[in-house]
Amino acid sequence: MDSKALYQISYGLYVVGTKIDGKDAGCVVDAFIQSTSSPVPTVILCSIQANQTNTAIKQTGEFTISVLTKKTDPFVIANFGFQSGRDADKWANVPAKRMGDLPILENAAAWLRCKVTDFKELTTHTVFFCDVTDAMVGEGEVLTYGEYQKNWKGRAQEAFKAFRESGKAPAPAPRWVCSICGYVYDGTIPFEELPEDWKCPICGHPKSVFVKE
Ligand SMILES: Cc1cc2nc3c(=O)[nH]c(=O)nc-3n(C[C@H](O)[C@H](O)[C@H](O)COP(=O)(O)O)c2cc1C
Q: Which domains, and CATH codes, for the chain? A: 10-166 (2.30.110.10), 174-213 (2.20.28.10)
- The residue nearest atom 14 of ligand 1, judged by CA position, is 29
ipTM, 2 decimals? 0.99
Query: Is the CB of residue 62 below 6 angstroms from any atom belonging to ligand 1?
Result: no
Distance 177 CA to ligand 1 centre (A): 35
How deeply is 164 buried, as exposed, middle or buried, from its count of CB atoms within 10 A (0-12, 13-18, 19+)? exposed
Write down the pLDDT at residue 169.
87
Residue nearest to atom 19 of ligand 1 (CA): 81
103 CB near ligand 1 (under 6 Å): no
- Contact present, 108 and 66 (Cβ < 8 Å): yes
What's the pLDDT score for residue 213?
85
pLDDT of residue 175: 85
- How does pLDDT run across 117-174, given as a tens digit for each residue? 999 999 999 999 999 999 999 999 999 999 999 989 999 999 999 999 998 888 877 8
Segments in the chain below pLDDT 50: none
The pLDDT of residue 16 is 98
Ligand 1 pocket: which of 15, 20, 30 to mutate (most atoms within 8 A of CB): 30
DSSP state of 144: B
Q: In this predicted structure, what is the pLDDT of residue 189? A: 80
Q: Cα(27) to centroid of ligand 1, in Å? A: 5
> Ligand 1 mean position to 154 CA, how many Å?
16
Spatial distance between the Cα atoms of 212 and 73, rounded to a whole number of angstroms: 18
Q: Alpha helix (H) ranges present in 4-152?
A: 52-60, 74-81, 145-147
> Pocket of ligand 1, candidates 9, 14, 43, 51: which has the most ligand atoms within 8 Å of its Cβ, to mutate?
51
Atom 5 of ligand 1: nearest residue by CA position: 29
Spatial distance between the Cα atoms of 19 and 77, rounded to a whole number of angstroms: 19
CA distances from 85 to 37, 131, 166, 176 (A): 32, 25, 19, 33
pLDDT for res 186: 81
Radius of gyration of the chain (CA): 19
